[in-house]
A and B are shown apart, each in its own frame.
Chain A
Amino acid sequence: MHPWIGAGDEDRARILSELGIGSIDDLFAAIPEAVRITDLPLPPAADEHAVRRAFAELAAGNVVPDNRPCFLGAGVYRHIQPAVVDAVLSRAEFFTSYTPYQPEISQGTLQAIFEFQTLISELSGCEVANASLYDGATALVEAVLFCHRVQRGKRDRVVVAETLHPLYRRVLDTYARAQRLDVVVVEPEADGRPDPGRLAVAAEGACCVAVQSPNFVGVVEDLPALVRVVHEAGALAVQVVTESVSLGLLEGGGAHGCDVVCGEAQSFGIAPGFGGPHLGFFACAAKNLRQMPGRLVGETVDEEGRRAFCLTLSTREQHIRRAKATSNICTNQGLMALAATVWLELVGGHGLQELARSNLARAEELKRRLADLGGTWRLAYPDSPTFNELLLVGPVGGEELVRRLATEGVLGGLAARRWGGSWPDGLLVTVTERNPAADLDALCAALGRIS
């Protein structure tokens, strides 16, 4: 017997007898002998305390970044995590329910997703947003495939800026091979951004051009200029956002005419979690709604005329369209979308702007302090606008610098060429509101000792 199995030995005997079956084995008679086993090669059951102890030991085998100055970002960001978010997520009505197929008993989940769609639409500057995708990388893939469909499958080339997160590009490569799409990568110029002219040339005949802004090396792209040249070439423009808090200060790309704004919303109240679960988002123009991947919630009424919500446009989806669906996605990131919704509503519009401004101010302060170190450490792109990430270069390369800083008790950031790249071999440093001035002191002091 086990507490998570509802029937005890006597219950099972009683049910077997009602079914007129002598042994539980009879219920498995359809399984051919050749594939049967009698026991699993696993340890026996463990009581709750044993489980807690085992996982506490696994957790103790890791260094928790909160206990030291940490400047890691690069797609996963450490922001405030108000207790309210986890308290809401811990309500069983949310976390032990499933996809709201039955709207009459799922209005809580449905309304929360409707609010999420509104928030993402608002922040992205696009007319409509879906209910979530797995993560930022797969959101990019879905965006590219979406553009390919909107272009009626006639343009099989995809252009991406090299400054789009290298992991996202890797995931795109995996899918592009299967879909026989040709991915062209445009390298950045000396200011950390692709040249609009070169992008325009690459965009000829492409279904879309995807850029990340702020980009992987921290630079805010000139989105209005890029969108102009991309559209002139007949391609669709995709903005990828990995640091969604930037949207507190910067308009989402929809405001500049981007056809898709997508990416990662982990910044909105979701723990780094060693890389997941995070939260992919996807927003586009209303006219292309029927090509959108993933779940979508719409407003309607119930029989008594009261406002109600339900899943809608499911004719795009696999359970109806099967092989002709816009995506094979089924389960997505519902609870993470709820987390982002709670977080955004708690932080509020003013609060998000203030939070973004605080990130900006801290990153600018770090730039000033680096300059005070006397020129040993410098910015790779000193004249380009940044939000809360910057590429730092100096006498030692990125990998070496990460190691040396770690011995000083500082998680300095990510070696920018971790996955290759045409940019300088430096350190990608991220500064958020979780880095008080004392963290900046610690980083600069450590850098001052390395030369």
Chain B
Amino acid sequence: MRRRALREEPLIFERNPTRSRRQGVLLPPLDVPDVDPASVLPADQLRDADPAVPDVGELEVVQHFHRLSQLNYAVDEGLYPLGSCTMKYNPRVDEVVARLDGLAQLHPLQPEDQVQGALRLMWELEEALKAITGMAGATLQPAAGAHGELTGILMIRKALESRGDARDVVLVPDSAHGTNPATAAFAGYQAVEIPSNDRGTVDMAALDELMTDRVAAVMLTVPNTLGVFEHRIVDIAELVHSRGGLLYLDGANLNAFVGRALPGLMGADAMHINLHKTFSTPHGGGGPGAGPVVVSEALVPHLPVPRVLRDGDLFHLVWDDDASIGAMRGFYGNFLVLVRALAFIRSLGAGGLKLMSEVAVLYANLIRHRLRGAYHLPYDAPCMHEVVFDDAVQDEHEVRNINIAKRLLDYGFHPPTMSFPIIVHGALMIEPAESASPEEVEAFCEAMLAIAREASEQPELVRGAPHDAPARRVDEVRAARNLRVRWQPPEAAE
């Protein structure tokens, strides 16, 4: 890290230990008669003391979070090449428009005639996503990618049920993100793996064998988690459809081909789009995201309610529809995330969106080119928006992917993804995204090359990393063995 906090920051609960009363915020004056809670609320449910939250002043709170913030790495600090997460720049104008009172302060249960602007905005985003994907319908409800997957699979289930076709299996490639099999199971299906071939794509012969009349859907990530485009996608779709199944595309990697290809032409029946990836809404330290789902004609009747419908210049919410799978969450979606995504799409426009994917792919190939040789490529083919190396070369010096990742922290970069694809042992999945400067991408490559040299010359230096981060190597095993998931007052602890 280039910067560290000056001192350790205590937990807020360790501040003001005497619980002296300080004012953090002024409440609106009580301009009605006060009421003794015990006179109107059940005595056995009233708190006998106020909640054990310390009372501190406003500046104490501001300083607390300012200091904590300084312990974080972020996109605004440098390259964040976390594969499959598409960590790109979060434009400030998107933040400005999402904070307009006419959007941020709207109550979701205001009468429809009072929220026509908000409904129009949702309708326009649906139209934009349909245009970008070539699909027939869209829902903005899902709160994240995994939630979108579930929405899509439930629609597929409903479509099959409505034609009296009960199926119980969902096929997922072994290279898939962990949410895919988890979603299939959550939706009540048995998840069965499709093996990958030696090029990292779907083994067609295996798919042919697995694709029985028990299979409801095949879930594919395009391009897949190895950064390789399923070049036989059309054949796969035909095979799946010919056996009565439906095709679900995981759109986590949409940043690879916006303006270049349409999922609608690939034969997709449903695809979720992570707005917090491709369309740049902030990742927020782990959400909120948004995972709208676009669907083919076959699934349009089954979209979740409420749906936004346009009738001339008026917009309506449809709450009741027997063909629908029902509601997937409260209200209409992570609306203020949707606002940011539409602002991003409008700002870039048709040409900018296409350029976005071009540069994302160009950068990934630049990294592949520069690091090739120094790091092993398990699947040596041109990549799309991300490239997957492994630690086979460094492993000879007993340096693993995790060590390389931690050493990158010393060089001031966020590490790549390591937890998947699980078919690559010691994976380093690198996704630069398009927003960084070429120099930043090149500096990352230089750091990776330096670590490759260190791995052979001073492997202990790499294994002992990080040396220069706000925390030294954190003991995650201890955290899981000796579970402490909340602060305890000193007398209660131990």
Contacts and interface: CB of A to CB of B under 8 A. Distances in A.
B52 A35 contact: no
A32 interface: yes
B12 interface: yes
Interface in A414-451: 414, 418-419, 433-434, 436-437, 440
Contact of A300 (B31, B91, B150, B478): B478
B489 to A, nearest CB: 10
Contact of B327 (A84, A167, A224, A272): A167
B187 A178 contact: yes
B89 interface: yes
A345 B54 contact: yes
Contacts of A143: none
A179 B23 CA distance: 48
Given A31-B260, A102-B414, A436-B31, A352 B53 contact: yes
Interface string A298-333: 111111101111111101011111111101111111
Interface string B62-84: 10111011111111110010100
Interface in B449-467: 466
Interface stretch (B204-212, B339-347, B387-395): B339-347
Most buried by A among B21, B73, B335, B363: B73
Most buried by A among B1, B287, B337: B287
B371 interface: no
Interface stretch (A194-202, A245-253, A372-380): A245-253
B11 A97 contact: no
A243 B262 CA distance: 44
B118 A274 contact: yes
A60 B369 contact: no
B474 A104 contact: yes
A302 B232 CA distance: 48
Contacts of A385: 40-42
A204 interface: no
A189 interface: no
A1 B144 CA distance: 30
B481 to A, nearest CB: 9
Contact of B328 (A171, A256, A275): A171
A165 to B, nearest CB: 8
B109 A251 contact: no
Interface string B423-462: 0000000000011111011000000000000000000000
A173 B144 CA distance: 20
Contacts of A34: 234, 265
B286 A334 contact: yes
A4 B85 CA distance: 17
A330 B146 contact: yes
A319 to B, nearest CB: 4
Contacts of B42: 220, 222, 385
A37 B262 contact: yes
Interface in A1-18: 1-2, 4-7, 11-12, 14-16, 18
Contact of A271 (B46, B105, B154, B328): B105
Interface in A29-45: 29-32, 34-37, 39-45
B239 interface: no
A272 B107 contact: yes
A328 B37 contact: no
Most buried by A among B332, B352, B356: B352
A4 B347 contact: yes
Contact of A171 (B45, B329, B480): B329
A345 B56 contact: yes
B131 to A, nearest CB: 5
A302 B146 contact: no
Contacts of B24: 345-348, 351
Contact of B259 (A39, A93, A272, A317): A39
Nearest to B99: A86
B6 interface: no
Contact of B53 (A40, A55, A122, A324): A122
Given A27-B362, A31-B257, A57-B117, A92 B76 contact: yes
A310 B287 contact: no
A371 to B, nearest CB: 14
Contacts of A313: 480, 483
Contact of B234 (A35, A97, A364): A35
23 contacts: A6-B435, A15-B363, A27-B382, A28-B261, A32-B233, A35-B233, A42-B353, A62-B115, A66-B101, A88-B65, A93-B74, A99-B283, A106-B71, A108-B72, A112-B68, A137-B327, A178-B186, A306-B472, A323-B191, A328-B182, A329-B147, A354-B27, A411-B107
Given A44-B350, A103-B476, A313-B480, 14 more contacts: A15-B366, A30-B231, A31-B229, A51-B346, A82-B25, A92-B76, A96-B282, A99-B286, A111-B11, A272-B106, A276-B335, A322-B182, A338-B285, A348-B55
5 smallest CB-CB distances across A and B, nearest first, come from A61-B117, A59-B102, A275-B331, A335-B284, A334-B286
